[in-house]
Structure 1
Amino acid sequence: MVERHAKREAEQGSRAKGPPVPARRRRLRFTREGKYFVGLTFAIGFAAINTGNNLLYLVLGMLLTLIVGSGVLSEIALRSLVAARQPPQRLFAHTPFLMGIRLHNAKRRLPSFSIEVEDVLTEAPRAPSAEERPLDKKCFFLKIPAGRTQRTSYRHAFTARGRYRLTSFAVSTRFPFGLFEKARRLGGEQELLVFPQVLPLPALPATYRDAGEQRSPRLGRAGEYHALRDYRQGDDPRDIAWRNSAKLGRPLVREHEDPRGQRVTIFLDNLGASSPSPAQHDRQEQAVSEAASHAAHLIARGLRVALVSRSFDLPAGSGPAHLDRMLTALALISFVGPDVPTPALPRDVLHIAAPFASASEAPDDLDRVA
């Protein structure tokens, strides 16, 4: 039953993520010990043939049995394995994270020993080529009993924002004697979206207080304290300031500002050169990172935030879901030429990290208010 469930899960995953990875031949590689062992086997075989010594033939047969047994047992260890990833909910550039790896042994009776798993990356932002390459971390599973699942994780940090495509798993083993390393591929295509780096903001810029936050004249109960006024028919008794009312001899009500009226519009001017130099590219990424940092900071404070650029216009919103929408837009944003006009901006706009005054020059001040 577990075997059927694992196969069904693998089929569903391949349908959801794209065509499955085609079956590939096993890759066999000699280890250093394996080279010595095979060399010794050839030497003993040559001596046995030349001398006709029965003892040498016996030793040769034992060595050949170890070689054949190593191939058979390593093949059994790699058979009927199903791998899956468990990425964190959010990934940020230059921020280490733990990628969970789940490996299921779908064999009914036989366990698998000494299994190493590598993630294989095919597509990355600004990658020079689309060749498959394994990531720099390996996960090791000492023993996976029949019908059981083992979990582990590896630590990694992506160096750029954008989409990454992981196409498969490279699974290998040196079981049982460490003479050979046999490897195969397991399907597991998955796309990951890496958000821009979010940096801590140690101090609140004055621009937030003076220009960014336009407080609404509407009143509510959940915002900051605004003023006291006389009680009117229909007011909520919970808003009555009893101590002040007792001092003045008449009922007074506390007024609060409506938090829904507090909003900031972030404008990221994504004007940039078509082929930026390394220094210009670093400034562009710094601009995107600062915009993401300010957006996360303002959302955490409970404000409604709008995000505007030359490429898109996200209306104001609040909460984690809206923050994800803004981070997604910033993760995929590209820099455009001067033919794309600057959008119409509201009065309360906060220019954050506008990186280029022209297509070839960046201003020094990245936090300025229009």
Structure 2
Amino acid sequence: MFQRLQQLARPRAPEPLPARLDRRRIYVLPTAFGLFFFVLLLTMGVGALNYNNNPALLLCLLLAGTALASLLHAHLQLSGLAVQAIDAEPVPAGHPLALRVHARADVARPRRGLEVRAGDTSAALHLDDGAGEAVLELPTAQRGWLDIGRLRISTTRPLGLARAWSWVWPDTPLLVYPAPEAHGPPLPEGAGDNAQARLHAAGDDVHHLRNWRRGDSRRAIAWKPSARRDQLLVREYEQPQGADVVIDWRGTAELPYEARIRRLARWVDEAERDQRRYVLRLPGQPAVGPARGALHRHACLRALALLPEAMHG
């Protein structure tokens, strides 16, 4: 029943952001406390009329006027509010995704007690100088696009007698990376003739000298050059590094489909952690790389996350 009523509420389809809340999409209903308060006022009114008690009747009318004013105030808490954008950093499947909901009010007035809810997860929305954000921890179960569905923005302020709420249905899906394999074989050997060297504290060859920084080991200090320049200098070493790592879909043919994706995701993370250049090769797609860095890692994990659910080869 509730789901059928929800389908009738605005918006009825995903919408682009920003989305502004106006009177056509804000709903107000009494809370459980509000219903109790209504019954209490009704009892007071009947008793005051029955006993012709004017002070009690005046009090009842004053409380009723206050309740009606609180309904209008709850509506105004949401009116003019706009959800500007949503965003979240991709996480591996199985980890909570931190969804940030950015909102702004076009009318400068205090707005308190706002709550944003997505499914069973909720968070407070605090506005400072008319702008603010709420951060919701959403569970993730599988790789690919995560459709968060409708977001409910609500408040029960100022008196808790009524709840005003509105729906926002962003058309922005969020990406979930595949969960990397927990344990597995080491990275494949590099291929090609583009062997490199990288800075490493335990390397073999001196690469250059640099100024001393807090936390540097005393054993790395170059004392003679430091004495000549009258300042502490530290040796930076380099360690030979193999050629580009090739992370190839064909190298995991013995594994089930999803297990192959998890292993490749693990190798991407390992290559990035070791600061190795790597290339990802997937069937039916151009090779990704060779490169390294946050953008390259995202491109590789995105390609793995968006592989079809069923594919052979």
**1:265 corresponds to which of 247, 250, 255:** 247
**Structure 1 residue 183 displacement after superposition:** 0.7
Letter of the 2:112 counterpart: F
Show the counterpart of 1:8: none
Distance in structure 2 (CA, Å) of the matches to 1:75 and 1:267: 55
Show the counterpart of 1:150: 132
Change (3 A) 1:112 1:223: closer
Letter of the 2:281 counterpart: V
Letter of the 2:90 counterpart: R
Map 1:211-360 onto structure 2 (within 5 A).
212-217=188-193, 222=198, 259=242, 261-267=243-249, 284-320=257-293, 321-336=295-310, 342=313
Change (3 A) 1:56 1:90: same
**Structure 1 residue 215 displacement after superposition:** 5.0
**Structure 1 residue 188 displacement after superposition:** 4.5
CA RMSD of aligned residues (A): 3.9
Map 1:32-181 onto structure 2 (within 5 A).
32-85=32-85, 87-108=87-108, 110-118=109-117, 134-141=118-125, 144=127, 147-166=129-148, 169-181=151-163
1:88/1:99 contact within 8 Å kept: yes
Deviations 1:84-116 (A, max 9, x none): 4553433321112433333333213x2112111
Distance in structure 1 (CA, Å) of the matches to 2:51 and 2:250: 83
2:247/2:278 contact within 8 Å kept: yes
2:116/2:134 contact within 8 Å kept: no
Show the counterpart of 1:361: none
2:144/2:305 contact within 8 Å kept: yes
**Structure 1 residue 139 displacement after superposition:** 1.7
Instruction: Give 5+ residue unaligned stretches, structure 2.
Output: 1-13, 209-237
**Structure 1 residue 292 displacement after superposition:** 0.8
Deviations 1:191-213 (A, max 9, x none): 21111123555x7x36x4xxx31
Tell me the SS of whatever aligns to 2:48.
helix
**Structure 1 residue 218 displacement after superposition:** 5.6
TM-score under structure 1 normalisation? 0.59
**Structure 1 residue 163 displacement after superposition:** 1.1
1:88/1:98 contact within 8 Å kept: yes
Deviations 1:321-365 (A, max 9, x none): 222222111111124466xxx4xxxxxxxxxxxxxxxxxxxxxxx
Distance in structure 2 (CA, Å) of the matches to 1:287 and 1:219: 27
Show the counterpart of 2:29: 29
Instruction: Give 5+ residue unaligned stretches, structure 1.
Output: 1-13, 119-133, 229-236, 239-254, 272-279, 343-370
**Structure 1 residue 311 displacement after superposition:** 4.0
Change (3 A) 1:159 1:288: same
Distance in structure 1 (CA, Å) of the matches to 2:30 and 2:153: 16
1:217/1:257 contact within 8 Å kept: no
Letter of the 1:327 counterpart: L
2:181/2:263 contact within 8 Å kept: yes
**How many residues get paired?**
266
**Structure 1 residue 291 displacement after superposition:** 1.9
Letter of the 2:102 counterpart: R
**Structure 1 residue 172 displacement after superposition:** 0.8
Tell me the SS of whatever aligns to 2:113.
strand
The percentage of aligned residue pairs carrying the same residue is 18
**Structure 1 residue 54 displacement after superposition:** 1.5
Distance in structure 1 (CA, Å) of the matches to 2:51 and 2:41: 15
TM-score under structure 2 normalisation? 0.69
1:302/1:318 contact within 8 Å kept: no
Tell me the SS of whatever aligns to 2:101.
strand
Distance in structure 1 (CA, Å) of the matches to 2:87 and 2:165: 24
